[in-house]
Chains A and B, each alone.
Chain A
Amino acid sequence: MGIVDGRIVMPPLPEGRVLPVVTAPAAVLSTPCVDVDPCDPGVVQLAADLLATQRVSPGCVGLAANQVGVGWRVFSLDVTAHPKARITHGEYVLVNAVVESASRNEKSREGCMSVPDFTGDVKRASRLVVRGLLPGTGEEVVIETDAFEARALQHELDHLAGFLFLDRVVGPHAVFPRQTYL
């Protein structure tokens, strides 16, 4: 269990429900989430719900619990198919995750389902170590990653700390109206 051949092996989860995604300025997005028991049945169900919601959302590679209105330190992630990803750990959910180390900042433009009107340039570490617990078993995993998975992890962990990418933009001229693609 844990990490096998570089992939996180998730414990069995119940069937997930697709939940509506909350958008700013909802208060839950600007409120720090709280640590929870990874083996609590409600946490396990939330893990399944986050994955189900993420899977049906086009372009979505990660989802924090407060993006579906729940103030718990739980998020889902899957950057496997993303062209900017290098190291990837598959599709997973982490509980009570923290950054152990972060280095080599790189700037990139981010968009977020919870901020549909804007995009923004954000600097984030491109080398990252994150420690967290798997839902259902509470097993601890340590993820060493880089590039796009590192960026996505920091974006989700920021959500759980009550921050949007808008809180991290590199300057006043680094926020853009989202363009419509016709």
Chain B
Amino acid sequence: MSHSLAVTVLGHDRPGIIAEVTGVLAELGGNLEDSSMTLLRGHFAWTLVVAADADPSEIEARLAHLVAEGLVVSVLPVPDADSSSTSGSPWLLTVHGADRPGIVSGLTGVVAAAGGNITDLTTRLGTGLYLLVAEAALPTGTDVEALQARIAEAAAELGVHATLQPADVDEL
């Protein structure tokens, strides 16, 4: 019976990693579902969810050549999640300022305390500039003005600039 597996591949980037991993998964009858890949300071970083009959160890064995070249590969079973479980209204949190410890935890902590759930997150370190862009689902009835004030307060303490704005959708 098909089950959900989370496949993570991390490490030195080179052309062909995605083609090789998906080739193995296809040969084993896996069906790719959601995935997200980017380069993190030049490192290849990919997580994907695949529905497959294959055993995780079988997939790892077929990807052993990637491990041999220094990539970190993990294949772990995950419970099926309700893809529509995200609830609330979508908001966009952007933070930027001089790099220092505690920016991400400080700002996302304020969102979490309001019951907000981060649904998408990117952080980047430039030359001295730290950047955070996050999507958050805020519970219905959230006092957004009060939350924006708490975010501004936390940002001021960290010496960064933070904005929380609606990620509203134009229905067309």
Contact = CB atoms under 8 A, between A and B. Distances in A.
A82 to B, nearest CB: 8
A182 B135 contact: no
B119 A155 contact: no
Interface of B: 36-38, 83-84, 86-90, 119-120, 122, 135, 137, 140, 167-172
B111 to A, nearest CB: 15
Interface of A: 59-62, 84, 108-113, 119, 148, 151-152, 155-156, 165, 172-173, 176-182
Nearest to A121: B167
Contacts, number: 60
A61 B171 CA distance: 7
Q: Chain A binding site: helix, strand, loop or mixed by DSSP?
A: mixed
B87 A111 contact: no
Given A61-B171, A62-B172, A176 B89 contact: no
A67 to B, nearest CB: 10
B132 to A, nearest CB: 14
B171 A177 contact: no
Contact of B84 (A60, A112, A156, A180): A180
A111 B83 CA distance: 18
A134 B38 CA distance: 48
14 contacts: A60-B171, A61-B171, A109-B167, A109-B168, A110-B170, A165-B172, A173-B120, A173-B122, A176-B120, A179-B90, A179-B119, A179-B137, A180-B86, A180-B87
